[in-house]
Amino acid sequence: MNGGMPKPTIKDVALEAGVSLGTASRVINRFSDVNVEMRLRVERAIRKLGYTPDAVAQSMRSRSTRTIGILIRDFSSPAFVSFATVVQSLLYREGYVPLLAGYADEPRRELEILSAFAQRRIDGLIVTTSSDSDARLADTRRKLAVPTILFDRDPDGEQDTIAVDHRSGIQQVMTYLLKLGHRRVALLTGAHHVRPARERIEAFIKAHHDAGLVLDPMLLRTGSFTAEFAEQQSVDLLALPNRPTAIIAGGVNMLPGVLLAIRAAGLSIPKDISVVSSTNPELCELFMPTVTELRVDYGAMGVEASQLMLGRVQGTIKGPPRILRFDTTLIERESCAPPHV
């Protein structure tokens, strides 16, 4: 597979430049206290030998791997795509590399990934945990002893948090739907042990209360963020004797399931049923009719998360845990109309 001589080491560079190991290291690490003459000699040697530092050896000594672990639910959501793209680009620019992993809705895999991260000595962690309330996961994160950003999860008082205000998001949606005249709105979202689901559920209940409406518990469907769950629950909802007049897909992967179920039921949007979806720009704009969307700017969250993380690992940001909140925007499209009675 290979060809020829071994990779040059810093020793070779020092030898070639006729300086000591230490001086070579100082040049490589851009320390200021190096004579110009020496610096040039070392740089020439580096170029001549085609030397690149060995990151493993650097990490061995310096304790830093310049690696940021990023632990998400899965790779399939458009939200992840915007986030990951931005984060990767900003981290690389500073010489850091993201270690990306998804647990694909299997909490056990989350633990495995965390320990793989630990063994590799990541410098920082951005994590969307599968459960806010799992003490074992929290404990494992703590043991990593690196700057951590909880992504759209509950602040724990110890780590930085960057989260969406889903509560006001659902409030916006409900205000909109109620104004259109809807009284039977269904909410599909994940299980209560993650913050986005919990916030949506609470806001959903509160909106009913504030409007003086009695919430039919059949209309609240929680348990998973997957499209499969959304489809199966939608099928069930649409078969109800008094089916909802609007459905909220409360999760970035859920819209496809909802749309499939509605089509299978032979219903038309928005005539028979109104639909609002969480962030999914492509599908929402492309589907006909276009779908009203509760949009979150995950790219912007990626920028903030990267900057905060870089600040923490580089020591330029200090002090107590920060909590960054992001608002949602309701983008009204064609999928909502007054219900007909």
Partner DNA sequence: TTGAAAGCGCTAACAA
Partner DNA sequence: TTGTTAGCGCTTTCAA
Tell me how far apart the terminal alpha carbons of the chain are, to the nearest angstrom: 72
- Phi, psi values for residue 233, rounded to 5°: -70, -35
- According to CB under 8 A, which residues from 44 to 73 bind a second copy? 52-57, 59-60, 65
Contacts of 35 (CB under 8 A, 6+ apart): none
- According to CB under 8 A, which residues from 246 to 265 bind a second copy? 256, 259-260, 263
Altogether, the residues listed in the chain come to a count of 341
Per CB under 7 A, which region of 19-27, 161-169, 245-253, 312-320 contacts DNA?
19-27
Nearest CA among 270, 209, 254 for reference residue 73: 254
Least distance from C-beta 52 to DNA, angstroms? 7
Dist CA 311 CA 107 (whole Å): 30
Contacts of 116 (CB under 8 A, 6+ apart): 101
- According to CB under 7 A, which residues from 39 to 78 bind DNA? 51, 53-54, 57-58, 60-62
Secondary structure of residue 182 in the 3-state scheme = coil
Per CB under 8 A, which region of 17-25, 104-112, 170-178, 240-248 contacts a second copy?
104-112
Dist CA 260 CA 262 (whole Å): 5
How is residue 38 written in tokens? Answer: 């020496």
Dist CA 244 CA 29 (whole Å): 63
Per-position x/- string for 5-24, each x denoting binding to a second copy as judged by CB under 8 A, each - no binding? --------------------
- 323 contributes a contact to a second copy by CB under 8 A: no
Q: Amino acid identity, residue 228?
A: E
Least distance from C-beta 315 to DNA, angstroms? 13
Number of residues that bind a second copy (CB under 8 A): 53
Under the rule (CB under 8 A), what is the footprint of a second copy? 1-3, 52-57, 59-60, 65, 74-76, 78, 80-81, 84-85, 88-89, 92, 97-102, 104, 109, 112-113, 115-116, 118-121, 142, 145-147, 256, 259-260, 263, 282-283, 285-288
Under the rule (CB under 7 A), what is the footprint of DNA? 6-7, 9-11, 19-23, 25-26, 28-29, 32-35, 37-38, 51, 53-54, 57-58, 60-62
